Amino acid sequence: MTQPAFPLFEALRQKFGAQIQSLTADREDETYLTLNDPDIRPITNYLRGEFGARLVMVFAEDRRASEGVFFNYYVFDQKGSSRYLLVRTPIRPDDPSFPSLSAELPAVNWQEREIQDWFGLKAVEHPNPRRVALHDNWPDVHPLRKDFPLETVLPPFEGERHIYRPALGEGVFQVPVGPVHAGIIEPGHFNFAVAGEPILYLQLRMFYTHKGTEKLFEKLPIPKAVFLAESISGDSSFSHGTAFCQAIERAAQMEIPLRALVMRTILLELERLCNHVADIGAIATDVGFVIANAHASRLKEMLVMLNEQLTGSRLLRGMICVGGVRRGWNAVQRDTLCSTIDSFAREFQDLIGMIDSSESTRDRLEQTGVLKHEKARDLGIVGVAGRASGIDLDTRRDHPYAAYSRYSLRVPVYEAGDVWHRMQVRIEEVRDSISIIRKAVDESLKGEFCAPARAIPSDRCALGAVEGWRGEIIHWIRTGTDNHLERCKIKDPSLNNWPALVEAVQGNIIADFPVINKSFNLSYSGTDR
């Protein structure tokens, strides 16, 4: 490991030298700072106040067998820098607690509560320490501890289910929606308090389909684990798979061929196009503009058929692998990609012209479901929802990966924070995705499409970050022996963004909830993992 010598780290050494146990870096854009105690608050305040750093995520790891402690990890980044700083704090098994940051940083509320549920480490002075990932009637277990076997069969769950805050006041009623919904979407419980039509507040409950994904990663060989990563959120298969593979490749210090990086970029943008055009259509249909949705659905079908021709899967599954992609394209596939994108671009403009010409659609969407900038900032909102509320973040630009550094990228940012502007972000991103694909396509046929297979060294840590179509996706891994993993932490953007829905619906009528919800379009599966 090398000793980093950047101004930020020199400042940390000078101010917190007595608290710092080590400060090391395996690579120039990922640095680890280990503290002597679990109190991260002084360093967090310093990084945020003096350097404008953002706390990206918080997670834990059970290292009792090898180091005698648990560790919490706090991942920071700084605007204008492509480096991640991971601060690691030890937590003794005989005092399994750590100071909570949630009162000052609501963005980590759910993440700290997940640590409590999965590892049994108490977040001291957390403003709402109730279970979040485990439901209230689960037995007292901590599934991500190393001494909890994956094959454990839990007894029947007993006791109280989740108790919602009662609706108080004359004429105030509760309206429960879910957890089972119409159609094929996964379960989530929305409990509204309403006075007439306006929504006073919303309580939501997720994690009905928890799959133990992070635990499952510990039992699979790395090549098989790629397929598990693709299953985290079905509409973001390629993004999650890419984030996972990037983490493995960085741990193994693999050099990925340019052709593979270019092909990954194209496929990531195709995934963005498919989902954005579908969301634009779904927002239109939720305000009664079904003809626009019909056009959008036809355009999405055009793209998923292209996906199948390029990868064999309409959802881009089975294409990503450690080292690159599983197969290359020929000239016929390249020509199909070019012609399809050209047709899509022309017809997409017709779709947007149709939406822009509908004054009733704009009237329904403007000033509906407003998420103010201050709330978005405090909640750590990422992706489309964040950019519509003035949060200027995009991993493709801020932490370049794949071949994004080769192509110009414009990040659309608005301040209004309503449904209309969340749709506008999608429209602008579709246009930019088309531009990136057109620039990249000529480099997609030259050279190798995958690096040679190699053994993955054990006890290496690395982080893989991708700007999925919803927002920032992060996989952090520690490699183990025999080509397995010791730990894989997953952060889907939906985990950040569900609390924003609670803020955005307040004061709106309950009939507008479907279109507000669709404008965020968050993943139950990605949250539940």
96 and 227 part of one domain:
no
- pLDDT (0 to 100) of residue 1: 46
Same domain, 444 and 335: yes
pLDDT above 70 as % of the chain: 99
More reliable by pLDDT, 57 or 11: 57
Task: Please check whether residues 302 and 446 belong to one and the same domain.
Answer: yes
Does 477 reside within a domain? yes
The CA-atom distances, in angstroms, between 495 and each of 201, 258, 524 are 20, 32, 9
Residue 4: its pLDDT value, please?
Answer: 53
Whether residue 244 is found in the same domain as residue 387: yes
**Do 322 and 228 belong together in one domain?**
yes
Identify whether residues 233 and 250 lie together within a single domain. yes
Residues 334-363: tens digit of each pLDDT: 999 999 999 999 999 999 999 999 999 999
Domain boundary among 99, 124, 149: 124
Helix or strand or coil: residue 35?
A: strand
Q: With left for phi above 0 and alpha for psi between -120 and 50, is residue 452 left, alpha or beta?
A: beta
- 12-21, 191-200, 379-388: range with lowest mean pLDDT: 12-21
Mean pLDDT value across residues 165-177: 85
| Contacts of residue 235, Cβ cutoff 8 Å, sequence gap at least 6 | 271, 275, 315, 469, 523
Identify the weakest region by mean pLDDT among 50-54, 322-326, 466-470. Answer: 50-54
Q: What is the mean pLDDT of the chain?
A: 92
And the tokens for 477? 């891994």
What are the E-state strand segments in 298-419? 320-321, 324-325
Q: Quick one: 102 and 183 in the same domain?
A: no
In whole angstroms, give the CA distance from residue 154 to residue 473. Answer: 31
- Regarding whether 379 and 491 lie in a shared domain, the answer is yes
Residues 186 and 56 in one domain: no
Instruction: Pick the last residue of a domain from 88, 109, 124.
Output: 124
Residue 379 within a domain: yes
Name the band, by pLDDT with cuts 50, 70 and 90, for residue 373: very high
Query: Above 70 in pLDDT, residue 5?
Result: no
**What mean pLDDT is predicted for residues 519-529?**
92
**364 and 248 within one domain:** yes
The string of pLDDT tens digits covering residues 189-231 is: 999 999 888 999 999 999 988 888 999 999 999 999 999 999 9
Would you say residue 405 lies in a domain?
Answer: yes
Q: Find the CATH number of the domain harbouring 280.
A: 1.10.645.10
Q: What's the structural domain count of the chain? A: 3
146 within some domain: no
134 or 6: whose pLDDT is higher? 134
pTM over 0.85: yes
Q: What is the per-residue pLDDT for 6?
A: 64
Tens-place pLDDT, residues 480-493: 999 999 999 999 99
Counted residue by residue, the chain has a size of: 529
- In what helix (H) or strand (E) does residue 98 lie, and over which residues does it extend? strand 97-99
Q: Is the pLDDT of residue 157 over 90?
A: no
CATH of the domain at 74: 3.30.460.80
Q: What is the pLDDT of residue 411?
A: 95
* Domain boundary residue, one of 189, 205, 221: 205
Dihedral (CA of 283, 284, 285, 288) sign = positive
Residue 2's pLDDT is 53
Q: Do the domain assignments include residue 142?
A: no
Q: Containing domain of residue 306, as a range?
A: 213-528
Asked whether residue 108 is domain-assigned, the answer is: yes
State pLDDT tens for residues 232-256: 998 999 999 999 999 999 999 999 9
Same-domain status, 459 and 348 = yes
In a domain, 438, yes or no: yes
| 19-51: pLDDT as tens digits | 888 888 778 889 999 999 999 999 999 999 988
What pLDDT shows up at residue 168? 81
Whether residue 156 lies inside any domain: the answer is no
Same-domain status, 317 and 338: yes
Stretch 302-319: mean pLDDT: 96
